[in-house]
Amino acid sequence: MQSHLFWLVPAASLLALGFAAFFYTRMKAQPEGTPLMKEIAQHVREGAMAYLQQQYKVVAIVFAIITILFAWMAYGLHLQNKWVPFAFLTGGLFSGLAGFFGMKTATYAAARVAHAASISLDQGLKLAFRSGAVMGLVVVGLALLDISIWFLVLNFFVADADPSHKLLTITTTMLTFGMGASLQALFARVGGGIFTKAADVGADLVGKVEAGIPEDDPRNPATIADNVGDNVGDVAGMGADLYESYVGSILATAALGAAAFSQINDPVSGFKAVIAPMVIAAIGTAFSIIGIFAVHTKAGATQRDLLNALGRGINLSSVLIFIASFFVLKWLGLPNYAGIWGAIVVGLITGIVIGKATEYFTSQEFKPTKDIAQNAMTGPATVIISGLGTGMLSTVVPVVAVVVGTTLAYCLAAGSWHFSPASMSMGLYGIGIAAVGMLSTLGITLATDAYGPIADNAGGNAEMAGLPPEVRMRTDALDSLGNTTAATGKGFAIGSAALTALALLASYVEELKIAMIHAGQKTMDVAGEAVPIISATLTQFMTHFEVHLLNPKVILGVFLGSMMSFIFCGLTINAVGRAAASMVEEVRRQFREKPGILKGEDKPDYARCVAISTLGAQREMVLPSMLAVATPVITGLIFGVPGVFGLLAGGLSTGFVLAVFMANSGGAWDNAKKYVEEGHLGGKGSPAHKATVIGDTVGDPFKDTAGPSLNILIKLMSMVSIVTAGVNVAFTLF
Amino acid sequence: MQSHLFWLVPAASLLALGFAAFFYTRMKAQPEGTPLMKEIAQHVREGAMAYLQQQYKVVAIVFAIITILFAWMAYGLHLQNKWVPFAFLTGGLFSGLAGFFGMKTATYAAARVAHAASISLDQGLKLAFRSGAVMGLVVVGLALLDISIWFLVLNFFVADADPSHKLLTITTTMLTFGMGASLQALFARVGGGIFTKAADVGADLVGKVEAGIPEDDPRNPATIADNVGDNVGDVAGMGADLYESYVGSILATAALGAAAFSQINDPVSGFKAVIAPMVIAAIGTAFSIIGIFAVHTKAGATQRDLLNALGRGINLSSVLIFIASFFVLKWLGLPNYAGIWGAIVVGLITGIVIGKATEYFTSQEFKPTKDIAQNAMTGPATVIISGLGTGMLSTVVPVVAVVVGTTLAYCLAAGSWHFSPASMSMGLYGIGIAAVGMLSTLGITLATDAYGPIADNAGGNAEMAGLPPEVRMRTDALDSLGNTTAATGKGFAIGSAALTALALLASYVEELKIAMIHAGQKTMDVAGEAVPIISATLTQFMTHFEVHLLNPKVILGVFLGSMMSFIFCGLTINAVGRAAASMVEEVRRQFREKPGILKGEDKPDYARCVAISTLGAQREMVLPSMLAVATPVITGLIFGVPGVFGLLAGGLSTGFVLAVFMANSGGAWDNAKKYVEEGHLGGKGSPAHKATVIGDTVGDPFKDTAGPSLNILIKLMSMVSIVTAGVNVAFTLF
């Protein structure tokens, strides 16, 4: 038994955190440029930290309430494992820490990147990318740390003579700390998303459209808020989102592994199956660090060169994990290791396919976005119509990729091309490990994501500080690269969320099993027969709970799940609308009361705009978040386990497709505008440009608020169901 | 046994067709007004008929191919009942006939209504409404005729000693004629939807926006096409849609009734359960006719008076069916008749709730639409954003209404507040009969729907013919009433489609049962045991096929179903975009080549524009339609029965929510524009007005093409699965 391989996990965690600290100190040692650059950076930094403080206040209250509820459920009602409240808290804490460090780094890096770009493009790229890598490495480092600590603690404390049962208890308990991460991520995504788009839309509507001043103009009072928004939405929000997918996929897969082998009473293989996803994640982290060092470029690099530079790093990490995971699994001695390795490869490839499809549908180099721009010749209405239509059509590739990928991963891990009840547990484990495979190189893929807003802010800083044109050109090149990586990053985030949610859905059954045993049940009824719970097959479980598609509770759950996705988007989109309206009023007020601002003679009140976005986000983030937490619980109370399964399936499928649609429509509108700005169809200032600006504004809450928030919704609803499985077992109305 | 009650069905059919003929002849006897009015009406009539001819050509080819396939499957491969090809054809034929008569009536009525309005408002209202009633009565009349004939024919020809089995064979065979109706409806909705919005968007973009001429101006070459569009989209499309829901809900309920009692081997109650939905529909038809006669108004009626006049008719019919259905069910002697009556009442109420919610979210008298209009003060982008957000939020009421309604209908019919496997068959029957209840007064509700485009065309005719202002005011009042009824009608169409699709999904199992028996299977395997097929419970069926939510085939099917809804919308929206672009080019060409048109000196070429819309619709309707037909078949071949169930559940839930969202966003944008045109926020010609016009244009394909087409998609996919159940039983890849 190769249990010592587990120690790779804490080792990788420390390695990641060490390199994060290294990149951070190196970045901090760089000069921040002129006094004006420093001042602007200081404004953004303060705004970002002020926002984060507010967000964490709201989060702290919500966490306190939920922790008390969980403690009551665990110690008062005995409906739950006694570790849950603590696991929940650490999950939230570590996710919050990751967001904090990532954003701190990003806000320190922006001016330094602008300064580095004034030396050379390569210096700028490296600094921006390695600052982004701090986020990537902190996320994976803290995630692996949390996993390692809990795994060791629970192994020590959980007393159970039956090793299979012990393993299942440990993994299902650990899964609950995913809910802490999930809830933290929800606030980060929803709050950050509302903040950033309220500022962006507000800044554009008054600045660009009414006052006719360019983007990032220091005369616009909302411009600092806009730059703060990039950090809180795209850095902290994206980081928390992927932290959750990462942790969720590893823990769900561990629980599925424990379950698959507990059924056939093979605890030795069970242990291997539990640590396999952790070990894969650990070695992926090491390869991510190698990949990060491979990213550099030359002087006078073109856009293609820059893209290749990033691609080189990611490809290197992927190839290394592709090869190494085979040998690790073989060494671990997991049964059917070749098939499980196949599932990992399928996960990696699925991620790449989704990324490429996103690029195709949202980049102005390809037909779909060019067609949307072409529609600008007949006005904004046709831009919107074609953007919506194209976004809807673009869902086909990611969905088919996930369907094909899931089928392959299932069959490879199950070791059979026919779906049979006997191999179902291993097949589901394969789906989980495919998600782990997709996320194994998160250290570097997340670095690419966090790079985007850093480059964007560097550009903003250079513009506001009035740096010379050749520097602006370099920061523009870096920024433009960031737009491409942002779009593919969104696709990747959605795809991995979908696979993770699938794995979570499957592991919900394991939580039910534990909850039933916890409640003193030893057998369950399947068609009049008493079947021992611990050795029941998945089919028997589902038959016992009547989770089939003719049970109206299941179907109505699916309806509610689909509705939840839309409601959630509607709430967040309207929240952006309201917050943006307040921003518009504030900017108009400042222009009106201090006419000197527009002439460049008077200083706008940046802090006020930051405060408005903060307040808007804080006020608007609570309702959608509470809805996401309450719906699975209420559905469970009314319709029981079948209703919850339906809710999760409906929410997952509709949420996934809707998220892809929104992200791609938004991305395509953004780039259709860029396409016109590059000089096509009349270029800047033409009627076509105005039409595409309207498209871009509509797309803002789509791609940066509602769409990404859905990633969390689909995972959080599963997490809440997992954590409240005890309640579902104990009580149902119908 | 009260089998003579069945004769009410053919009697009601003849009554409906008789009154349709009566209203039609009375309408034709009215004068058509001035020669100019006649000429315009003639243009519209010719255009509509030319379009319908083209559509039927495409439909005829598709029907021929599918009929041959079905014949091969039935007689060559023995995978299917030998009646299916014929049933399929009559379903398509009768639906096509209903569309033809409805549209013929509408195009003859428009000018006559304009003329009648020049006498009095009451005359105009009555003529428009009774012309609409022709459509309503033809639809229910032909539907009941088709049902009666097939029921009698099959009762005569199906030879089976076991009466339970015979009843199940008859009802499942009849269900397949729903597919003919469904496919016909798809072409009518998709083709009609593309035609009407290509004309509308094209006419608006060049006419209103570029040339600055008002709506329905005879100088606009696309204006006749726009009026033709109202007829083909809103009359023929809506009629075919509801014909399908009507037939589908009655037949699915009959099959569910036969199944529920065949399980407990009670053919006497089974027969009652089979004819109950037919009889309810029959008496509902009689009450619809009474309601139609109750619609009239007085001189100088306000908008509220007009709305009340229509409401009076519908309410009268509803109250009558509410009371009478209780006694009919009691007389029929169906077991638990009070519970089943409760389910009918629940269906009626659910329909009313959905209608009211639609009105609230789309009428400019209420806050949501006013808020959207308010957003016009910051430009078109915020109008679009808030319209999308509000549309998404508006899905909550219809979904919750359907969830609550379904639960109640299920529990009432099952006679228990706890969902148990034993009562599941009766519960599903309850869901079916709730759909029948909702649709029982279709004769009058459809009259209200068809009234809208007739009034709209009357207004167009009056405008183009230059009738005096007081007549214009009256036709405007009638038209405005039509807008309100159109919005609630759309909500009703979606809600009834969702309930019907639910009933169809449930009856898919019965088709599988028959297909298994047909294939020579007598028992099936449930957890290692052989269970006789004919007496297997639904839970045993679902366990045998592993249709539970942990089977990846089911989950992936749900993903594909959700995706299908979006793909389908994307295709139809883009189709409108492309066809509208051709229209814009044509109108621009006419204005350019004949400058006299805009001066009113030269006549535009109306026919050319009609031809362009026709061609666009014809070309674009094929791909989405084929996709809807092929997807269930392909999913079944790859993932088998579990995949098909998943596909249907995912398509139904996502499609339902998406359809509500699109219809309500579109309706709200339309009325936000009207709100501004009424003089608010700057009134006509103000920047706010321009912003809302853009919103309205975006909403056009939402509410009139993509949204309504989804109603058909969710029903058609179930119908295709039902008809190809034999294939699913015979073959699956995984």
Q: Which of A201, A380, A540 sits opposite B380 (nearest CB)?
A: A380
Mapped onto helix, strand or coil, the DSSP state of residue A417 is coil
pLDDT at B209 exceeding the cut of 80: no
Residue A548 pairs with which residues in a beta bridge?
B548
Q: Which amino acid is at A539?
A: T
State which residue of chain B sits closest to A695, comparing Cα positions.
Answer: B381
What are the two backbone dihedrals, phi and then psi, of residue A604, each rounded to the nearest 5 degrees?
-75, 160
- Interface probe for B, chosen from A208, A256, A392, A665 (most Cβ of B below 10 Å), is A392
Give how far Cα B93 sits from Cα of A147, B145, B714, Å: 65, 12, 21
Chain B: give the shortest CA distance to residue A703, in Å. 12
Chain A: give the shortest CA distance to residue B649, in Å. 7
How far apart (Å, rounded) are the C-alpha atoms in residues B448 and B234?
A: 11
Ranges of residues in chain A whose predicted pLDDT is under 50: none
Q: Do A567 and B385 touch (CB under 8 A)?
A: no
Q: Do B549 and A554 touch (CB under 8 A)?
A: yes
Give how far Cα A375 sits from Cα of A383, A692, B578, B580, B692, Å: 5, 9, 10, 11, 19
- Interface probe for A, chosen from B386, B553, B657, B697 (most Cβ of A below 10 Å), is B657
Contact list in A for residue B431 (CB cut-off 8 A) is 552
CB pairs < 8 Å spanning A and B: 297
How far apart (Å, rounded) are the C-alpha atoms in residues B260 and B273?
A: 9
State which residue of chain A sits closest to B503, comparing Cα positions.
Answer: A550
CA B480 to chain CA mean position, Å: 22
Contact predicate B112/B124, CB 8 Å: no
Mapped onto helix, strand or coil, the DSSP state of residue A56 is helix
- pLDDT value of position B2: 60
Q: Which of A381, A417, A549 sits opposite B645 (nearest CB)?
A: A549
Contact list in A for residue B698 (CB cut-off 8 A) is 381, 384-385, 388
Tally Cβ neighbours within 10 Å of residue B347: 30
Q: Which of B378, B410, B548 sits opposite A547 (nearest CB)?
A: B548
Render pLDDT for B60-94 as a digit per residue (tens, 0 to 9): 999 999 999 999 988 988 887 788 899 899 999 99
Q: Which of A396, A571, A694 sits opposite B381 (nearest CB)?
A: A694
State which residue of chain B sits closest to A581, comparing Cα positions.
Answer: B378
User: B562 is written with which tokens?
Assistant: 């959700």
With a pLDDT cut of 90, the percent of chain B lying above it is: 65
What are the two backbone dihedrals, phi and then psi, of residue A524, each rounded to the nearest 5 degrees?
-135, 165
ipTM of the modeled complex: 0.95
Q: Do A419 and B553 touch (CB under 8 A)?
A: yes
Q: Which of B389, B419, B654 sits opposite A570 (nearest CB)?
A: B389
Q: Do A389 and B577 touch (CB under 8 A)?
A: yes
Contact list in B for residue A553 (CB cut-off 8 A) is 419
How far apart (Å, rounded) are the C-alpha atoms in residues B113 and A448?
A: 66
User: A540 is written with which tokens?
Assistant: 């028997």
How far apart (Å, rounded) are the C-alpha atoms in residues B312 and B291?
A: 8
Q: Do B549 and A403 touch (CB under 8 A)?
A: no
CA B696 to chain CA mean position, Å: 22
Four-residue CA torsion sign, B636, B637, B641, B642: negative
Residue B530 pairs with which residues in a beta bridge?
B525
- pLDDT value of position B401: 97
Q: With CA atoms as reference, report the closest residue to A334 among A273, A408, A406.
A: A273
Q: Which of A550, A570, A734 sits opposite B418 (nearest CB)?
A: A734
Contact list in A for residue B535 (CB cut-off 8 A) is none
Give how far Cα A84 sits from Cα of A62, A151, A164, A175, A178, Å: 16, 14, 20, 9, 10
How far apart (Å, rounded) are the C-alpha atoms in residues B510 and A566?
A: 33
User: A458 is written with which tokens?
Assistant: 């560097």
Contact predicate A224/A587, CB 8 Å: no
For residues A586, A591, A597 and A598, what is the CA-based torsion angle, rounded to 10 degrees? Answer: 120
Contact list in B for residue A385 (CB cut-off 8 A) is 573, 576-577, 697-698, 701
State which residue of chain A sits closest to B640, comparing Cα positions.
Answer: A419
Render pLDDT for A211-245 as a digit per residue (tens, 0 to 9): 788 878 888 999 899 889 988 888 888 899 999 99
Residue B124 exposure: Cα atoms within 13 Å on the Cβ side: 36
Alpha helices in A118-176 (DSSP H): 121-157, 163-175
- Interface probe for B, chosen from A369, A423, A653 (most Cβ of B below 10 Å), is A653
Q: Do A566 and B410 touch (CB under 8 A)?
A: no
Render pLDDT for B541-581 as a digit per residue (tens, 0 to 9): 998 999 999 999 999 999 999 999 999 999 999 999 899 98
pLDDT at B410 exceeding the cut of 60: yes
Q: Do A542 and B549 touch (CB under 8 A)?
A: yes
Render pLDDT for B464-496 as a digit per residue (tens, 0 to 9): 888 999 898 899 888 888 877 887 888 889 999
Mapped onto helix, strand or coil, the DSSP state of residue B465 is coil
Residue B89 exposure: Cα atoms within 13 Å on the Cβ side: 13
Contact predicate A230/A504, CB 8 Å: no
Q: Which of B386, B400, B650 sits opposite A577 (nearest CB)?
A: B386
Chain A: give the shortest CA distance to residue B473, in Å. 30
- pLDDT value of position A477: 87
Contact list in B for residue A411 (CB cut-off 8 A) is 734
Listed range (A506-515, A549-558, B200-209, B341-350) with the worst mean pLDDT: B200-209
Chain A: give the shortest CA distance to residue B697, in Å. 6
Tally Cβ neighbours within 10 Å of residue B1: 11
Q: Do B654 and A653 touch (CB under 8 A)?
A: yes
Contact list in A for residue B505 (CB cut-off 8 A) is 549-550, 555
- Interface probe for B, chosen from A388, A512, A526, A531 (most Cβ of B below 10 Å), is A388
- pLDDT value of position A2: 59
Contact list in B for residue A554 (CB cut-off 8 A) is 549
Residue for token pair 């919900």: A508
First to last CA, chain A: 47
Q: Do A734 and B567 touch (CB under 8 A)?
A: no
Mean pLDDT within B93-106: 92
CA A32 to chain CA mean position, Å: 30
What pTM does this model have? 0.95
State which residue of chain B sits closest to A642, comparing Cα positions.
Answer: B549
- pLDDT value of position A211: 79
Q: Which residues contact B65 (CB under 8 A, 6 or more apart)?
A: none
Q: Which of B402, B646, B653 sits opposite A654 (nearest CB)?
A: B653
Residue A524 pairs with which residues in a beta bridge?
A531
How far apart (Å, rounded) are the C-alpha atoms in residues A92 and A716?
A: 12
Q: With CA atoms as reference, report the closest residue to A414 among B372, B275, B543, B552.
A: B552
Residue for token pair 């309806």: A559
Contact list in A for residue B417 (CB cut-off 8 A) is 734
Tally Cβ neighbours within 10 Å of residue B36: 15
Tally Cβ neighbours within 10 Å of residue B589: 13
Q: Which of B410, B547, B567 sits opposite A549 (nearest CB)?
A: B547
Q: How confident is the model at residue B28 (pLDDT cuts 50, 70, 90)?
A: very high
Q: Which amino acid is at A412?
A: L
Give how far Cα B312 sits from Cα of A209, B294, B344, B452, Å: 50, 7, 21, 17
Chain A: give the shortest CA distance to residue B322, in Å. 25
Give how far Cα A322 sits from Cα of A137, A291, A341, A343, B31, Å: 20, 14, 9, 11, 81
Mapped onto helix, strand or coil, the DSSP state of residue B596 is helix
Q: Do A393 and B547 touch (CB under 8 A)?
A: no
Q: Do A407 and B576 touch (CB under 8 A)?
A: no
State which residue of chain B sits closest to A645, comparing Cα positions.
Answer: B549
Q: Which of B392, B431, B561 sits opposite A566 (nearest CB)?
A: B392
Give how far Cα B384 sits from Cα of A189, A209, A388, B556, B578, Å: 23, 16, 12, 33, 21
Four-residue CA torsion sign, A509, A515, A517, A521: negative
Contact predicate B70/B80, CB 8 Å: yes
DSSP state of B157: H
Q: Which amino acid is at A58?
A: V
State which residue of chain A sits closest to B702, comparing Cα positions.
Answer: A385
Contact list in A for residue B687 (CB cut-off 8 A) is none
Q: Which residues contact B645 (CB under 8 A, 6 or more apart)?
A: A549, B505, B508, B545, B547, B554, B557
Chain A: give the shortest CA distance to residue B50, in Å. 28
Mean pLDDT within B130-159: 94
State which residue of chain A sits closest to B562, comparing Cα positions.
Answer: A654
Contact predicate B274/B171, CB 8 Å: yes
State which residue of chain B sits closest to A407, comparing Cα positions.
Answer: B552
